[in-house]
Amino acid sequence: MTWHLRKAWAPLTYTDEHPPTRDNPVAPAQRSPHAHTKASRHQTTDATPLRSFRALLDHLATLTRNRIRYQDTNIEIETLTEPTHDQRRAFDLIKATIPLTIAA
Q: Which helix (H) or strand (E) holds 39?
A: helix 33-41
Exposed / middle / buried, residue 60 (Cβ in 10 Å: 0-12, 13-18, 19+): middle
pTM of the model: 0.76
Percent of the chain topping pLDDT 70: 95
User: Which residue segment(s) compose the domain that 88 sits in?
Assistant: 2-18+31-93
End-to-end CA distance of the chain: 27
pLDDT, tens only, 58-90? 999 999 888 889 988 989 888 888 999 999 999
Q: Given a cut of 70, is residue 101 above it in pLDDT?
A: no
Residues in the chain: 104
Percent of the chain topping pLDDT 90: 41
How far apart are the C-alpha atoms of 98 and 83, rounded to whole Å?
A: 8
Q: Given a cut of 90, is residue 4 above it in pLDDT?
A: yes
Give 53-57's long-range contacts (Cβ < 8 A, gap of 24+).
Answer: 53/5, 53/6, 53/9, 53/13, 53/15, 56/9, 56/12, 56/13, 56/86, 56/90
pLDDT, tens only, 26-41? 988 888 888 888 888 8
How many separate domains does the chain show? 1
- Structural domain contains residue 62: yes
How far apart are the C-alpha atoms of 36 and 54, rounded to whole Å?
A: 20
